[in-house]
Every structure is written in structure tokens, then in C-alpha cells.
Structure 1
């Protein structure tokens, strides 16, 4: 089954999910040959294990709270905060409260 992605020029709603957050799932909003953007949903207490991607990434906390670890350094992120990482940096996170994050990945071959 193909994943529905936004079309070029299509407006995408990334407002906080609020009362729908706990029933929502991670979704890829769009993907091209050079970039992928997804809304990552992480329930309180859940972890995204440490991993690396080749390209640069941005992570924007839309709602909730996470502890984001990159290169062995942990920072707390809350709604309205954004971080950027170079490619190849090990990173992961743990949700302190149910969280929704906007993740952008530059795809490197």
C-alpha cells in the first residue's frame, strides 16, 4: 500500500494535535529524492533509540516535552523549540510528556 504524501504546493496542517495526540501516529508528510518531512508522535515514557542518518536533520517540538540526546549530550525540548544536527551524529529521544515533533531529514545517498 502506497503512503499518501502531500503534493507540491499543498498546505499541510502541523498545528498541535492537543486532545488527539494520544490517538495519533507518526506520519511522513512528504518525501522527495532530497528531503523527507515527518510528524513524529512519541508517547510519554517511550524512547526513540539512538541512531544516525547520513544527512542533516531538524527537529521541532510542536507540543509536549522530550529529552533529546545527541553526541552524548541531553537537552530538554518543549513546544516551540527547534534543533539542527549535522549528518552522522548519533541521536535519540525519550518523551517526558506525550509529544509531537516535526522532523526534517536531508537525504544523502
Structure 2
């Protein structure tokens, strides 16, 4: 069963999960015509393999520490930091500590 996405005008809680992080999974918060927003949840040591998407991306670390590898260059993101990626750029993500992040993707049709 798919989780419902937020409706326009609906507030979404993206505060740090804290001690509850291990019980959460990555979820899509909403998807509109040109934009998708997800909450990425990664326990320490877990990763997303190198991949790419057509549209631009932002990764905003909410809690923990993430290593985002972009075309072979490592970027360490801590809580409060945001990384912008151009569309089509290969990237991978590894949690150096239990972490959650807000990921936005500009959808290309």
C-alpha cells in the first residue's frame, strides 16, 4: 500500500527523527508535475549506489552525516548543509552516521 502524498497547502514535518530514525524508511513526501520531494533515511554504513536522474537535485542533510560522491569527488554533508547537483550527473550517497535528508528532484518529461 502506497503512502499518501501531501496535498497542496498541507504542512509536512521534516524535523530530525532523532532516536526514532532506525524505525523510519525513505518516503516520498509529494510529487507534482515538475517536482518530487523525498525524505531519505539511511542508517550508518548504508548507501545508495551510483545512479543519475534527468533533472536537477538538491540534498539537504537534516541530521547525521552523509557522504555524497559526485563524479568521483566526495562531499561530506552535515546537518544543515545542502548540495545542488545538475541533472544527469552520476552520484551515490553513503551514511557516515545515521542520517536523514530532504531530497528534491526536478522532474524532466
TM range (shorter): over 0.9
Distance 2:70 2:105 in 1: 15
Partner of 1:46: 46
Stretches of 4+ moved more than 6 A in 1? none
Distance 2:36 2:65 in 1: 23
1:49 counterpart SS class? strand
Distance 2:68 2:93 in 1: 4
Gaps in structure 1 of 5+ consecutive residues: none
Distance 2:17 2:69 in 1: 24
Distance 2:18 2:62 in 1: 10
1:21 aligns with 2:21: yes
After superposition, give the CA deviation of every residue in 1:4-58 in whole Å (9 maximum; x if it has no partner): 0000000111100001111111110000121000000011001100000000000
1:5 aligns with 2:36: no
User: What are the equivalent positions in structure 2 for 1:20-99 lying under 5 Å apart?
Assistant: 20-99=20-99
What is the RMSD computed on CA atoms of the aligned residues?
0.8
1:97 counterpart SS class? coil
TM-score normalised by length of structure 2:
0.97
Gaps in structure 2 of 5+ consecutive residues: none
Name the count of aligned residue pairs: 109
